[in-house]
Each structure stands twice: as structure tokens, then as C-alpha cells.
Chains A and B, each alone.
Chain A
């Protein structure tokens, strides 16, 4: 196992180099930059800024400078915020993280239970109703779902705030602040959960249906075990196995933010910042963030493989 992990870690290096080349050159090939976007600058001032930020260097040279900085943990300098990219990311990523984490937790918890019941009662009324609801939620665009939710729960019923992360003007501290943020979180988490739950429910339903038909489930029934034990111990444990892989892939999603949903709820998360950085062409921020997600993605792939090996005795022995 140790050797295997080392080997896999070694494979990460070429993958990440490839990713960095793609990310850097794609963004560099796009015409225009942050400085060009400002029509008020004189040609003289422009040249000055070009030299200051290193835009006058050839692209290849700029790549190696960027790469060298990356290796020391420096993601570059955000022109828009006039602060290091790592600092900007650190400022916004956590507000995205709490929303993503809450909705991830809810999505998985609900999807497992609903999917399992749906599979054990295949073709029942419950199964049909759940299937329709789940597909309806999945098929609705996030901007539409978000606005509907705001209309009913924030405007008509007034239960939850319509947007933002904290109440404007309020200066809560401690427990009050936590409560305030939680209240603001509910609607975006609701929308993200509704969007995510569909695919996952269907996934668990299909997996369970497959496992329930296996011979060893029949064996468990022949043992005279309770149906609950048959389903949750013998069947679900085997159905969850492939989901480990899926779960590890959610790791980057925890940090990548939800671009549209964050915009709608005016949530100060990284998704909204990402969108903003596009409009002002703050490429260092975009490249730094994309590279960060790329690193998370390859790491989560590795974690998926290791976890799979730990969970499945058939893989473990080899």
C-alpha cells in the first residue's frame, strides 16, 4: 500500500505540470488584460503598468515566473483587489465552503435514504412520486429555483433574509453572529441541495437495485435475518462502495463555490468573486484559483483510490 501511494504521488507531478501549462496558456491567449480594460489610462502610464506587472515579458518567460512562484506557494497578485491571490482566496473561499459543506452533507444524507427506500419499493407510488420530484428539482435552472425560493420564503413569508451573509448594519459578535450567518445560509443551501439531490438519489437507487438482486442478499434472507439488517448491512454496504469514489470527487466542489447561486443570493463566496474577476480580466486571480482547484482535483482522485482500497477487502489484499 505504501509503495502504491508513493507511485501515485509521483504520477501527480506530470499531471499538475500539464494542468499548469493548459491553465496558463489558455488565459494568456485571451486578448486583453486588466490594464487594457481601463480607457482612462495614457499610453505612457500603460507602459509603466505593463512593466510593473511584467506584462511586457514574452509569454513563455511569464509562465516560468508564474510556475516558480507557484512552487513557493505564491499564486500571484490580484490586480483587482491589489492584494495577493492567496489572501483573496482565503477571504472568500470559506464562506463558499460552509454553504457547500452544508449542502453536500444534506444532499448525501437525503439521497442515501431516499434512494434506498426508492429501490426497496421499486415501481411503488412512493418511488414514482420521488422520481418525479427529484427530476423536477434537478431540471430547474438554479437562477429560476433561486428566485422562486426568494419570492416565497423571503418576500412573501418573510421567514429568511433574501440575500447576503449577514444582516446589513447589524454588528453581531459571537453566538449572535453565528445565528445570523446560519439564517442567511438556509436559502442558498436549500437551492444547492435541491439541485444536487436528483442525480445522487438516482445513483443510489440504481446501485441498490443492482445489489439487492445479488445472490448474497438472498443468502442473507435465507439466514432469516431481519429485512432491515438485510438491506442496511448486507446490501447498502456493498452499494455504498462505488459511492466512495463519487464522494472524493466532491472535495474540489467544496471549495469551488457556486457561481450562479452565490450571485443570486448575493453571497460573498468565491463563485461570485470568480465571476467578477472574469468581467475585469483579473487573470492572476483566475489562474491561481483554477490551479488551486486542479490540485484539489488530482488529490481527491488519489484519495478516492486509497479509500476504495481500504473499503474493499478484494482490492486491499493485492
Chain B
């Protein structure tokens, strides 16, 4: 733990400004990510969970600079990636890759998958032209795709196969960090298991580090060793997987966990049902952002935003009541 972490996110903010109408006094920014801080150690799988609109994907994209950020710093091995020129960033991209949620639309329909996989290798000059086909086949095999598929087009594959292509595409440059943005949510449950196991295998073989974005807590439990819970762009709770699943402290985490089904019909869990929907991020509630839906709201929650504090070693929570 003495060396610096692989990924260090500090006070990350990403505001999207809405185009205001002519008569608006001032445009109200949507605070998609509002002051989020965390680190990812090498070889770790960091799970990011939260409802739709909580800012999970925005954080993921910011981490490999698929868009710019508003404030804060993101460091990869101590390098501030949002401070690099476009050219320097391009070469950094070989080390940081992304697996997209939708395996159907994220592949160019007009390019054979062999060419799609070879393209970044040739473009970055990582492999020579005569070696590239072997390299692509090798990565395909590692990702569970028979190499005779190399000259097929994306539409000739099933959803699970396409997601394997998506993973192979990310792996081909031998990155050490991959952001996986809900990589299994578009797949059938049986296929989900295969893909999750593939992620695990690759991690063991290649010592990968993942940021795994998901809204499925059972997937996260299976795969991650550290978990961050997001709500309306803010981190609510952050700790190791074991602590989070055994001893959740934030009411939001408790509610999410209570909704995970137990694979045993005789056991019942007391469900905490949240009222209402996630509020509009352009106009988040004052005080604690969660107070509108929290079953334990007190006066202080309406007025003061809780600090993100370490309540026990390696367990951070933003709640007044903890």
C-alpha cells in the first residue's frame, strides 16, 4: 500500500449545463457528479452502484477522459489525465480501456471484427502488420471467441459473443485498467454469468484492475472487492465488499441491499421500501440529498449536508445518523 494507487479520483465534479431559454435568469447546471473522491488500488475491482441517473457512467467516462470534467483531478499512476494534451492522452489510452454497456451499438457495423481489433494495435504501433492477425486471434481465444470468427461482421454474433468482442477489443492493447460500464445488463442471466467469469479469469491471468459499474448488487458482490454507493452524483457509502454487505451503515445502502433476493425461499428479509423516485439532479434536495426518500429523516438532514466521514477503518459514510 506504500506506492501510489492506480487510480486516484479527488473531488471530481461534472456539471452539464442545460441550454437555458431566453428568459431564464441563469442556467441551472445538472450536477451529474458532485464532489466524489475515491481510489482504486492495482489489481482491485472497484464496484460502483446506484440507481439510473446517479452518475455512475459519468464517473466511468471521466476516468478515461471520454469527456471533460468540471472540477477535481483524476490521476492514473500519479499522472493527471485531464491535464494531458490530446496526443499524450492518445497513447495513455492503450493502458486504460472501456467496455461499453450495449454490445450491439458499440461495434461499427461495417468493419470486420478482426479489423476492429487490429486497428488500435496498428494505429498505436504496438504490433507489426504481419504479426497483428496472430495477436488478434490470441486475444479472441483468451476471451472465449473461437478465432475462426475473425473475418465476420458484428451482426453475425449473438449478444454474449458481441460482449466478448467488446472485452477482447478492450483487452487487445493489454491495458492494466478497464472501466466496465454495466457490461452485463444487456445480456440474459445465463450469459451474464459467463461474462462475469470471463472478467474474473482475465483479472487472474493479466492482473487487471477494474472499475465495474452496475446496478445489480449481486453481480457486484460476486466480482468486486471494494464498493462505492452513489446517489444523485454523491458518494453515500464506500468500503470493502465484506463490510458493505455485512454491515451497511447508510440507509440508502440498507434499502438497496434489502431488495436483493436471497436464493432461499424459506428465508425472508425485512425490506426497506424507498418512497418516490430519484429527484431531478438539476434541482437536488437541500441538506442531505437522500432526505426526501430516507425512512429515518431528522431535522438536521433537511438543513445540513452530511460529511463523508470515516466511521471505522476503510468505511466511509455520508449520513448524520451514523
Contact = CB atoms under 8 A, between A and B. Distances in A.
Contacts of B86: 227
A221 interface: yes
Interface stretch (A127-135, A166-174, A210-218, A245-253): A210-218
Contacts of A234: 108, 111
Nearest to A220: B108
A216 B102 CA distance: 10
B109 A224 contact: no
Contact of B93 (A214, A216, A222, A237): A222
A226 interface: yes
A201 B241 CA distance: 54
Counting chain A CB atoms within 10 Å of each CB, which of B92, B94, B153 scores highest? B153
Contacts of A241: 110
B123 A223 contact: yes
Counting chain A CB atoms within 10 Å of each CB, which of B100, B110, B155 scores highest? B110
B108 A314 contact: no
B81 to A, nearest CB: 12
Contacts of B110: 237-238, 241, 312-313
A224 B119 CA distance: 10
Contacts of B119: 223, 225
B66 interface: yes
Contact of B123 (A214, A219, A222, A229): A229
B123 A216 contact: no
B123 A215 contact: no
Contacts of A222: 64, 66, 93, 97-98, 100
Contacts of A216: 105-109
B91 A218 contact: no
Interface residues of B, number: 29
A224 B155 contact: no
A317 interface: yes
A215 B102 contact: yes
Contacts of B120: 223-225
Interface in A262-318: 312-314, 317
Contacts of B106: 215-216, 218-219
A247 B106 CA distance: 28
Given A224-B90, A224-B124, A219 B107 contact: yes
B96 to A, nearest CB: 9
A226 B66 contact: no
A238 B109 contact: yes
Given A218-B66, A313-B110, A224 B93 contact: yes
A225 B117 CA distance: 12
Contact of A215 (B64, B100, B153, B156): B100
A221 B123 contact: no
Contacts of B289: none
Interface in B107-142: 107-111, 119-120, 123-124
Nearest to B101: A215
Nearest to A222: B98
Given A215-B106, A313-B109, A226 B100 contact: no
Counting chain B CB atoms within 10 Å of each CB, which of A215, A226, A234, A317 scores highest? A215
Interface string B152-163: 010110000000
Counting chain B CB atoms within 10 Å of each CB, which of A221, A237, A238 scores highest? A221
B160 to A, nearest CB: 18
Interface string B55-84: 000000000101000000000000000000
Nearest to B172: A223
A234 B110 CA distance: 8
Contacts of B97: 222
Nearest to B64: A222
B169 interface: yes
B156 A317 contact: yes
Nearest to A313: B153
Contacts of A317: 153, 155-156
Contacts of A225: 90, 119-120, 123
Contacts of B173: 223-224
Nearest to B92: A224
Contact of B108 (A226, A227, A238, A312): A238
A167 B96 CA distance: 67
B107 A226 contact: no
Contacts of A218: 66, 100, 106
Contacts of A312: 109-110
Nearest to B112: A313
A223 B109 CA distance: 16
A221 B66 contact: yes
A214 B105 contact: yes
A126 to B, nearest CB: 20
A219 B100 contact: yes
A219 B169 contact: yes
A241 B111 CA distance: 13
Nearest to A221: B66
A218 B64 CA distance: 12
Contacts of B105: 214-216
Counting chain A CB atoms within 10 Å of each CB, which of B86, B106, B120, B173 scores highest? B106
Interface of A: 214-216, 218-227, 229, 234, 237-238, 241, 312-314, 317
13 contacts: A214-B105, A219-B100, A219-B108, A222-B98, A223-B120, A223-B123, A223-B173, A224-B120, A225-B123, A234-B108, A237-B110, A312-B109, A313-B153
Which 9 residue pairs spanning A and B have beta carbons closest together? A224-B93, A215-B106, A215-B105, A223-B120, A216-B108, A313-B153, A222-B98, A224-B90, A219-B106
Interface of B: 64, 66, 86, 89-94, 97-98, 100, 102, 105-111, 119-120, 123-124, 153, 155-156, 169, 173
